[in-house]
Amino acid sequence: MTCMAKGAIRRSLLPIAAAGLLALGGAGAATPQPQAAALIAKARDDIARGDGLGAELHLKAAQTAGATRDEVAARMGEAFIYQGKRNKAREWLAPGKFAPDDAAHGFHLLGLLEHGDGNLAAAGQAYDKAVALAPKSVSLWVNLGYLRYASGEHMKAIEAADLALSLDPNNVRALEFRGLIVRDQYGMAAALPWLEAALVQAPDDRSVLREYAATLGDLGRGSDMLAASRKLMARDARNARGLLLLAQLALRAGDNGLARTLLNRTGDQLKALPAKILVDGLLELRSGNYLLAIEALEPLVQRQPGNVQAQELLASAYYASGDARMVVRRFGALALRSDASPYLLTVVARAHEVLGERGEAAPLLQRAARSVDRPFTGAPENQPVGALLAARNFGAAEAAAERMRASQPGSADAQALAGDVQLILGHGAAAVVRYRLASRVRMPDSLLQRTVAAMIMAGQQRDAAALVEAYLVQTPSSPVAVRLAASLAAGQGDWARARQLLEYLRANGSGQDVRLLADLSQAQLRSGDAEAAEATAREAYRLQPSSPLAARAWGLCLNALKQRPADARALLAKAQALGA
């Protein structure tokens, strides 16, 4: 689990390091009264220490001593940002009236404020003014890069990161930003050298330590993640995010007690953070406290209806509590959607089975078994294309996607959407071209799946295998990549490798995945171990008797062992009837 969701860079918009921003303002605004100038200088020192209240008091005193509003506006806005009083900060920054020496600093702060409030266009305008006044400010280019990334201008964001590093190759914020971009572009392992370079410059930097620990965790390097998290905690023993990281690591290791202890130490600091709520819910589920899990997760699902992981955990909690009717009532409509996850489909199907509604369960289980990756059409700006695809107006959808791609050449999302349309149209080679352009910015698991599908469609199996292997080197903990590697190995007849990879997945959290168990049974059977294959297939069938894949796998194994021929025939007939 990482602090940031894979595939998108998020940046905390708390006040950035004073040293970086102070460089924008020169020696401070020139004031006609020496006493006022001295008080403004003291306010700058307060800000450098993170003392927003002290800065506010000194700036008010400077006004009493004769400083004008313009001469204190930028610093007063910054003082209120440090105090968390964003509306007060806006009163001083939004007019855009600053003393000449403070103008670049003031517009930079205004850009940060607008970005933090979600006003991306206004933030861009403020940053443009700041860049015009201070074109060599590293911190300004870094924050402009974060804005561009958030706005979908991914290529321009990369350019901003490169420019910042050209201005100062040792700047901590620039190194961190480049590392996060590389993490999205090339994977976790590729990001480590950039984050480590940032830590060389600032070993105690809490932001970099958080990202470093999270990246190590995603690489499966638990002991190293623990060491980095402890270092973070040593710098700030009450750092709630550091405690959350440690709790996530303990949860991954199966130590529920330690995870709970660490989570309790965060107090109320992260009570509204989705990642913290998810850990809470999972801990309650593992402890058998299903009602407490529901109590924790229900508000999150209502607040974030698109949070798939929260939906899955909440559905599991209702099912485990014995309330199958609530599972169907709460998640039945979601399961009918084309983008429902295989896990949610399975939970809702099992709830239908408990209620004796096997007719409703069967199609859901069949969809879960197929588990086909859905093309990306969910973002609001892509809804017109999605609607055209739903209406099967493929020519218009293709034209709309290409127009979007042409108008947003630096957007990974626009490139990926155009690839999705080409994939749906059966144009594998064209989809690969567009997916590769999108992957220059980031390559999440979902894009990897679609790229591999497009390559196979285009007859590029060797390229698909090379892509998956390269992805695994960078992100070895990705279940999607491991599953793809196993599928490609099976397609090449390398059943021993397919078995090894699938057994790894079963041992690392996928032991209840019926389709995985059915695939593993086939790999074991084809690699000559019929007894292990039969045991695996029998477990899959026990978990989901209505699964055609499980029925077929068990029937084939019984045939291979020449055991229970009547049962083998019945299982294979059942599988065929269910569509396997």
Please state the rounded mean pLDDT for residues 505-509.
Answer: 78
Provide CB contacts within 8 A for 236, sequence distance 6+. 206, 242
Q: DSSP states of 206-270 as a string? A: HHHHHHHHHHHHHTT-HHHHHHHHHHHHHH-TT-HHHHHHHHHHHHHTT-HHHHHHHHHTTTTTT
**How far apart (Å, rounded) are the C-alpha atoms in residues 101 and 490?**
66
pLDDT class of 346 with cuts at 50, 70, 90: confident
Provide CB contacts within 8 A for 274, sequence distance 6+. 300, 304, 307, 310
Range name among 107-111, 313-317, 477-481 with the lowest pLDDT average: 477-481
Please state the rounded mean pLDDT for residues 467-479.
Answer: 84
Residue 176 confidence (pLDDT) above 90: yes
Using CA atoms, how far residue 57 sits from 44, 84, 240, 531, in Å, is 12, 16, 30, 78
pLDDT digits (tens, 9 = 90+) for 49-76: 888 898 899 999 999 988 899 999 999 9
Using CA atoms, how far residue 139 sits from 102, 131, 520, in Å, is 15, 11, 51
pLDDT class of 175 with cuts at 50, 70, 90: very high
pLDDT class of 501 with cuts at 50, 70, 90: very high
pLDDT score of 536:
93
Task: Go through the chain and tell me how many residues it has.
Answer: 580
Residue pointed to by tokens 């991954």? 252
Q: Closest by alpha carbon to 344, among 319, 325, 321, 322? A: 319
Residue 160 confidence (pLDDT) above 80: yes
Please state the rounded mean pLDDT for residues 86-105.
Answer: 92
- Chain centroid to CA 50: how far? 30
pLDDT score of 281:
86
pLDDT score of 296:
86
Q: Are 283 and 263 contacting, i.e. CB atoms less than 8 angstroms apart?
A: yes
Residue 461 confidence (pLDDT) above 50: yes
Residue 91 confidence (pLDDT) above 90: yes
Range name among 63-72, 220-229, 370-379 with the lowest pLDDT average: 370-379
Range name among 15-19, 164-168, 394-398 with the lowest pLDDT average: 15-19
Share of the chain above pLDDT 70, in %: 86
pLDDT score of 349:
85
Using CA atoms, how far residue 195 sits from 104, 181, 208, 254, 467, in Å, is 29, 11, 7, 28, 24
Residue 169 confidence (pLDDT) above 90: yes
pLDDT score of 422:
85
Residue 462 confidence (pLDDT) above 80: yes
**How far apart (Å, rounded) are the C-alpha atoms in residues 243 and 241?**
5
pLDDT score of 428:
86
Pair of tokens at residue 292:
């407490």
Please state the rounded mean pLDDT for residues 273-281.
Answer: 84
Please state the rounded mean pLDDT for residues 480-492.
Answer: 89
Q: Structure pTM?
A: 0.61
> Helix, strand or coil for residue 9?
coil
Please state the rounded mean pLDDT for residues 537-544.
Answer: 88
pLDDT score of 388:
59
Range name among 30-39, 164-173, 415-424 with the lowest pLDDT average: 30-39
**How far apart (Å, rounded) are the C-alpha atoms in residues 450 and 419?**
9
Domains of the chain (ranges; CATH) run: 1-168 (1.25.40.10), 274-370 (1.25.40.10), 373-477 (1.25.40), 489-580 (1.25.40.10)
In the chain the first and final C-alpha atoms are separated, in Å, by 35
Using CA atoms, how far residue 264 sits from 243, 254, 261, 272, 273, in Å, is 9, 17, 5, 14, 14
Count of alpha carbons within 13 angstroms of residue 471, beta-carbon side: 28
pLDDT score of 29:
40
358 or 176, which is more confident?
Answer: 176
Share of the chain above pLDDT 90, in %: 25
pLDDT class of 10 with cuts at 50, 70, 90: very low
Please state the rounded mean pLDDT for residues 432-459.
Answer: 86
pLDDT class of 8 with cuts at 50, 70, 90: very low
Residue 305 confidence (pLDDT) above 80: no
Residue 457 confidence (pLDDT) above 90: no
pLDDT score of 391:
56
pLDDT score of 6:
38
**How far apart (Å, rounded) are the C-alpha atoms in residues 506 and 511?**
4
Q: Tell me the average pLDDT of the chain.
A: 81
Provide CB contacts within 8 A for 20, sequence distance 6+. 138, 139, 142, 171, 173
Pair of tokens at residue 301:
């699902």
pLDDT score of 238:
64
Pair of tokens at residue 311:
């939906």
